[in-house]
Structure formats: C-alpha cells, structure tokens
Structure 1
Amino acid sequence: MKALVLGARGAVGQHVVAALRGHGHDVTPAGRSGSDGGVRVDLSAPDGAVRLREAAAGQAVVINASGVEEPWIAGELGGAALVDISASSAYLVALRACAAPSTSVVLGAGLVPGLSTVLVGALETRPGDEVDVAVMLGSGEKHGAAAVSWTEKLVGTDVHAPPEGVRVRNLRTRRRVVGPDGRRRTYLRTDFADHVLLDDLVVRSWLTLSNGPATAALALVGRLGKGRRLISGAPLVGSEEWSLQATVRRTAQRLAATGSGQSRATGLLTALAAERVVSAAPGRCVTMADVVAVDDALGVLEPPLSRVRPAGR
C-alpha cells in the first residue's frame, strides 16, 4: 500500500510512518520543509492545495497528522482515501460535508476520538442512550504542537453542537468518575468529537489529567475563560499514562482501555485505520468504529491494554 503522511515529523506522524513501514508499506513523508527524504507539502501556504494534489497522486491513502484543519483537503486527493486524526468537532463535521462522494474518509482516527469511538461502538446501546466517555491524558508527556494548540483552543469556547441542544462551555462542568484504575478523579466536560460522530447516541466527553493539580489548573483556566498560553508553558508533571472509559448511563455497562504514551498510541491506531479504510470503506465517510473492531484496536498497542467487562457479567 502506498501512503502519504502529512506532518510526518510530528509527535504523532513519526509513529504513523514507523508503523506503516514496519508493516511493509511504501510510505512518503510530507511536511512543510520536505526534509529527511520527504516531499514539501505546506497546507497553510498559498500553493498548499497544488502541492497536496501532486503528492497524493498514485497514493492509496493520505494521513493528515499535520494539525492543519482545512476541509478542502478531502477534495484534493485524486481518489486516495483520507485518514484525519483531528479531534475538533466543527472541523470533522465540515470535512464530512466537503468530502467527494467517491472519497473514503476516516473521521477522527487515533486515541480520542478513535479508540474512544470504537469502545462506544462496542457497547450494548439503544438509540438515544446517554454515554459518558471519560478520558485521562498523561500530564507528564511532551505533546506535539497540534495537541497543545487544540487544548488551548478549548479555553473560553463552547462544545460544538452539544447533544443537549443548549450552550455548554468547555472545561467548566465537572464530574467525579472512578476510572479503570479504581481511582476517583475530577473530569471536565470537553469537546472531543465523539458526540458528532455517533449522532444516534447522547455522548458526553470528559477530560482529566494524570496529575491532580494539573487538572485543577486546567479547570481554573477554563473557569476564567482565559490564560491559553499557560497551557503550553505548563511544566510536565505526572506520568505518561492515559485511559479511556465509556459508560452507558442506563445500564452502567462500561468498556475501558489503558496505556502509556498518547502520541505513540495515536500513531499506531491511525496506521491501523489507514490499512483498513482502503478496503473496508470505499467511497464513504466513516469512524474508527466502522472499520476497526475493539480487539483489533487494543491488539496494536503495547503494553497490552486492559478491557473492563460489562457490569453484571
């Protein structure tokens, strides 16, 4: 399989490249400089669309790990599939609307959305069920520029198209949740994209950090609605552990996964989505849950992840 990776030198992109090459695929790295044997594709430059169209020619799949969120990307691929790791709800909705009918697209590949979407999809639900997705990210991990920028944009903004139909401010509402490790933590309502990708369910996403004081600082910034720069300048305290837990409110059924290293996990899961989308979703916009089974998703990650059985079983 021939694959073009946008943002190949980034925190996630480098893991996508390594994973795909490790599986024997022909990978072309791409970035703003085109160094290290790659091609130059600067999506934010005036010639970005032309460069992308040239680089995508003959590729089976294009992975967007650049952090650039431009819906027109889906229209410049010349028949190649697209896998986008963005967690921005508004962008993924626009991307789905702009994709050509013949273009295969995976919306929100990676950890969250991505593995979180797979976990929700594996639950036993009815249309309209309320599902809580509790996300813990490692505050001790040095995240890529795109991930930091995404977090900064949450400050002072609203959840896009919340399922409640009323205004919901990011990082304001709190919920105490017992995570997969048995510890009770404070989680903050956060605009991950699962609620717009799984629109037959009422999905609410919640974020906590592996370090309690770091979560408290994030909550303070969210309450004040300002101080975005404090996020990028925050010290790396705590572990690199992450966890996801999806719970159905009606039945208390839950599925969870844990691991270490958010960027690497996102890269490995994105590579898996890229391998699957070419054959599993011809000409469709899909989620990770449409092309990847939960056991397959957990199987690509190291160390092995835990899976919490449904309550009462």
Structure 2
Amino acid sequence: MQDASKVEMVKDQIWVVGGYGQVGQMICIQLGQAFPGKVWAVGPRLNRAEEFSRSTNGAVLPLQIDVRKHIDPVMLATVKLVVMCVDQMHTHFVEACAEAGTDYMDITAKYDFLAQVERLHEHMQAKQATAMLSVGLSPGVTNLLVHEAVDGMDQTDDVNITVMLGLGEKHGKAAVEWTVDQMNTTYQVTQKGEYAEVDSFDDGRWVDFGEQLGRRKAYRFNFSDQHVVARTLQIPTVSTRLCLDSRWITRAMSLAKRVGIFRLLRISSIRNATVKAFGLIPGGEEMYAVKVDAKGWTNGKPIVMEQLIVGQREADVTAAVAAATAEKMYQEKLSPGVFHIEQVLSIQDIQRVLHTPLQITTRIS
C-alpha cells in the first residue's frame, strides 16, 4: 500500500468566496464550465451554497466557510486560486492564502482594503503566491483603458475616468451600501503630482458619452481606480466621476450634496432607508458606460485620447472580467506578489479571454 503521508496534495481547486451572491454566481458558472468539479461556492450559509450547486447540476460544489473567522492555511492546501467577492475589514484571510501558496483575486472597490493588501507584496513574493487586485469594471476595465491610453503617449498629463450606471439594474445590497456610504466622503486625489482633498458628488464636469447617450454632467466619486493608476502608471492628475442614466436623479443628488442633505447619511436609520430607496427608484435601464479621457504629448505635440464602452448590466461585465482573469491565473503562473490588474495584463489580454469581447470606441485627436 502507498503511504498516505507521502501522497502529494493536488492543488487544483478554485474557491469563489461569496459564490452564491449576485456576481459570485456568474463567476462560478463561467469557471464551472471551464473547470467542472474544481469550483466551489464558498460562504457561511451552507443551504444557499447547496441550492446554487444543485442549479448548476454539480458543476459548482458547495462549501461552508466563514472567511471572517480564523482560517488555518492547511485548509487551503488543495486550493490553487481564491476569487473574493465579498468585502473584508482586514487581511487575515489573504495572509492565509499566502501561507498556503494559494493565488488570490479580489473584486472589491474599497481602496482602504486594497491598500492593506498592497503591503503584503513581499510576503506574497516569499511564498510564491500572486494577489490580483482591481478586477471588474471600475476598478478593472477602467484601469486597463487608462493603461492603453498611457501606452499610446510619450507623456500623459491628465486622465479623467467617468462611470455611468443604469438605475434599471438591481445591484446587490453590498454594492448599494458601498455607493451610499461614498456619497458623503472627503478623500484625496492626485492633482499635478500633489495630493488634493475633494468631496464626493462635487466638482461636476460635462462628459461626452457619444451619439447614443450624449453629454452628461458627472461628479467626483471615490472609486479606487483613480488612486491606483495615478501611482502605478505615474500620472500626475487623475480623477473619477459618476453619473446615473437618469439626468434628473443625478441633478437631484448633486443638489442634495450642495444643500448638505448627504450629511444626514451619518445617521444609521437615514443611511439604511437610503439603501432601501435605491432599490425602489422607478425607471432607468440595465446599462453601464465608462469613458476615459486622457491628455498628453506624443512627438512633441499635444494628444487627446477618448475611449468609450457602453454595455448592458454592470454586474455581468464585472463577473465576465473577473472570470476571464481567474481563468488566466488558473492556467498560467504569474509573477508572485501583489498587483493591480493594469500592472500584469492589458485590455487585449482580457479581450482574448472574454466570451463576449467589450465593444471599445477609441478616438484620438
């Protein structure tokens, strides 16, 4: 008989934490088709995981684990890749992945948490594990579009990222809570190489979203991509703004900001009521749009590059990009350490793996 203690563990599992949630399910389904029997929907509620597993005819398997509690790295011995779809407060689980030599990918938009993970770069390198951050639409696709613009210039001076979200799409509770919590924040951006303090839903800017959507006024919002690409791509001025597909609701939110109504979101009962109200707003479409406007210099002459993507269902594109990135990480050994997506991949890398490539319109003047 073979000595069981000498049998080497096969490291071939994919854990999708939050795999029975809105975006997590879509990621699981795509990965389950590519790697049947290797994908596990992980979360604290076993009944939800089992119900979802049955709906996939067993292509995705259920696993009850609460990653908010202490996880022994031994539990990850057979896990090659973790895809994180829930927000975390600390990096204990990421550190457990590093100890187990398990690659890690996160779709969170919370920059304060991403900054914590960045500090694990040397630890990840030492353990020969890779952590991929800023995966999704914004951050994610936006980072890659900015990288594409920077590659097309000798020098990039100024980048404006704008995200339009459709009110017709019903987002998960965590996503809505994050959006509401950002409405009354003050944060720092990079302007001419220096840090400057700005407020969410302030400093409106007109943005051209093309013939279909026209010009819209968008307002500053604390998406993580603006913080990341300013540093990773060494751009002196970067900002990200948000608008909704409803012009009048966007204007109403801007007015609410100006008269101080958003300050009431500090009161938990008003904050919770606002979260519920977002799910009750009538009208709108299940759409999204992202626009990157970059200014710089090429061959001594000024250049402006505009990149636009308009699509259906923001959650779908976030899941598709995350699944495509996960497939690449599962099949290829990337450099160990902590990276944001634009530091490792290009928009072309993602386009080649996506089942339905993004329709990108580029204009250079």
Length-normalised TM-score, structure 1: 0.89
Q: Which amino acid aligns with 2:41?
A: P
Residue 54 of structure 1, CA deviation: 5.3
In 2: Cα distance, 1:268 partner to 1:12 partner? 9
**1:1-313 superposed matches below 5 A:** 1-25=12-36, 26-35=38-47, 36=50, 37-44=61-68, 48-50=69-71, 53=73, 55-77=75-97, 78-99=100-121, 100-102=123-125, 103-123=129-149, 124-126=152-154, 129-159=157-187, 161-164=188-191, 165-180=195-210, 181-198=212-229, 199=231, 200-201=234-235, 202-223=237-258, 224=260, 225-226=262-263, 227=265, 228-229=271-272, 230-234=274-278, 235-236=280-281, 237-250=283-296, 251-278=303-330, 279=332, 281-298=334-351, 305-312=358-365
In 2: Cα distance, 1:241 partner to 1:302 partner? 19
Residue 170 of structure 1, CA deviation: 1.3
Larger radius of gyration: 2
Aligned-partner SS, 2:168? coil
Q: Which amino acid aligns with 1:242?
A: Y
Q: Which amino acid aligns with 1:41?
A: I
Q: Which amino acid aligns with 2:241?
A: W
CA RMSD of aligned residues (A): 2.2
User: 220-229 vs 86-95, which deviates more?
Assistant: 220-229
Q: Which amino acid aligns with 1:134?
A: T
Distance 1:281 1:147, change over 3 A: same
Residue 129 of structure 1, CA deviation: 2.0
Distance 1:131 1:65, change over 3 A: same
Measured against aligned partners, the alpha-carbon deviations of 1:22-77 in whole angstroms (never above 9, x if no partner) come to 22251011012133152222233xxx2226x4553311110110123422332011
Measured against aligned partners, the alpha-carbon deviations of 1:98-138 in whole angstroms (never above 9, x if no partner) come to 35233311111111100111111111245652111111111
Aligned-partner SS, 1:238? coil
More strand by share: 2
More helix by share: 2
Residue 274 of structure 1, CA deviation: 1.4
Check whether the contact 1:69–1:86 (CA below 8 A) recurs between aligned residues: no
Measured against aligned partners, the alpha-carbon deviations of 1:203-230 in whole angstroms (never above 9, x if no partner) come to 2111111122232233244442334342
User: 293-302 vs 10-19, which deviates more?
Assistant: 293-302
In 2: Cα distance, 1:54 partner to 1:6 partner? 17
User: 215-224 vs 249-258, which deviates more?
Assistant: 215-224
Where does structure 1 lack aligned partners over 5 or more consecutive residues?
none
Distance 1:171 1:71, change over 3 A: farther
Where does structure 2 lack aligned partners over 5 or more consecutive residues?
1-11, 51-60, 266-270, 297-302
Check whether the contact 2:86–2:108 (CA below 8 A) recurs between aligned residues: no
Check whether the contact 1:61–1:83 (CA below 8 A) recurs between aligned residues: yes
Q: Which amino acid aligns with 2:207?
A: V
Check whether the contact 2:156–2:294 (CA below 8 A) recurs between aligned residues: no
Overall identity of the aligned pairs, in %: 23
Check whether the contact 2:15–2:40 (CA below 8 A) recurs between aligned residues: yes
Residue 302 of structure 1, CA deviation: 7.1
Report the count of equivalent residues.
Answer: 307
Distance 1:298 1:215, change over 3 A: farther
Length-normalised TM-score, structure 2: 0.77
In 2: Cα distance, 1:298 partner to 1:189 partner? 28
Q: Which amino acid aligns with 1:114?
A: G
In 2: Cα distance, 1:126 partner to 1:98 partner? 32
In 1: Cα distance, 2:115 partner to 2:165 partner? 24
Distance 1:249 1:128, change over 3 A: closer
